[in-house]
Amino acid sequence: MGKLWMKSLGAVLVAGTLLVGGTAWVAPGNYAYAAEVQGVQQNVINVVGTGEIQVKPDIAYLSIGVNSTAETAASAQKANAAKIQKVTNLLKNTWKISADDIQTSQFYVQPNYTYSDKDGQKIKGYTAHHTLTVTYRDMDKIGELLDAASQAGANNIENVRFTIEKPESFEAQVIEKAVANADVKAGAIAKAVKRQLGAVLSVSQGDASVPVMYATESLMSQAKSEADGGTAIETGQVKVSTTLNITYEMK
């Protein structure tokens, strides 16, 4: 082809591909580069906008369990069944919690072992464990409910998880914040390179998220009310967030 004189042709040769006036001429043997060059977007700004709001949780998942120990597996299981039934009756009848909101999340019966140099490892009784996951929506009465469950025989309250039941109801708010955040970023970039921001060319949304807040048993035990000895649970707030990938035209 001879020599390519850049000034006279107004062209640039990159990796065997000649760009002339925005049109790509691909040298033989360089077909792999053609799609990459032709797919390059020029005069655009790509940014990620983040939007988030703090929301008071409106639903809690309570982990309420019962443990029983006995000499035989059958005895441990029988004793535990009576206890968990008492707790379940309390939840359904006294606290009017729907059966749909009470679910067994864990159940097992396991041997307990002792060890000595003389006898080695030997079984010494069995422990039965049954945990219920309870969906509850009255945030102000969680501590009272946990106290009642403990009095009914629950001896393994592991944690309380707080979240938002319908996060989609807040989606419009976080999207608006994400767009505003992206506008600021893109505007700053355009200004820095002495250009102007044009129209939005494309938008794609990342994952929206609602993290779950945990109140563990140890935290709950520390949150005792001095006035009446009841358990006080603080719901705090959860963050609802989303990200948007936005491409702007740059003038």
What does the pLDDT look like over 159-209, one tens digit per residue? 899 999 998 899 999 999 999 999 999 999 999 999 999 999 999 998 778
> Given this model, what pLDDT does residue 227 score?
42
> Given this model, what pLDDT does residue 140 score?
92
> Given this model, what pLDDT does residue 236 score?
86
Q: Which of 26-30, 137-141, 187-191 has the lowest mean pLDDT?
A: 26-30
Flag whether pLDDT at 40 surpasses 50. yes
- Structure tokens belonging to residue 52: 């988030």
Query: Which comes out higher in pLDDT, residue 39 or 213?
Result: 213
> Given this model, what pLDDT does residue 41 score?
64
> Given this model, what pLDDT does residue 50 score?
95
| pLDDT tens-digit series, residues 198-240 | 999 999 998 778 777 776 544 344 344 444 567 888 888 889 9
> Given this model, what pLDDT does residue 13 score?
35
> Given this model, what pLDDT does residue 118 score?
83
One-letter identity of residue 237: Q
Flag whether pLDDT at 21 surpasses 80. no
The residue whose two tokens read 């936005």 is 246
> Given this model, what pLDDT does residue 30 score?
38
Most confident segment among 21-35, 39-53, 87-101, 207-221: 87-101
Mean pLDDT of 45-66: 95
What is d(CA 113, CA 156) in angstroms, rounded to the nearest whole number? Answer: 21
Torsion of CA 96, 98, 103, 107, to 10 degrees: 40
Flag whether pLDDT at 72 surpasses 70. yes
DSSP H stretches of helix in the chain: 6-9, 34-38, 73-89, 142-151, 171-192, 217-222
Flag whether pLDDT at 133 surpasses 70. yes
* Band of pLDDT at residue 39, cut at 50, 70 and 90: low
> Given this model, what pLDDT does residue 251 score?
92
Flag whether pLDDT at 44 surpasses 50. yes
> Given this model, what pLDDT does residue 117 score?
83
Q: Phi, psi at residue 232, to the nearest 5°?
A: -105, 120
What is d(CA 165, CA 177) in angstroms, rounded to the nearest whole number? Answer: 21
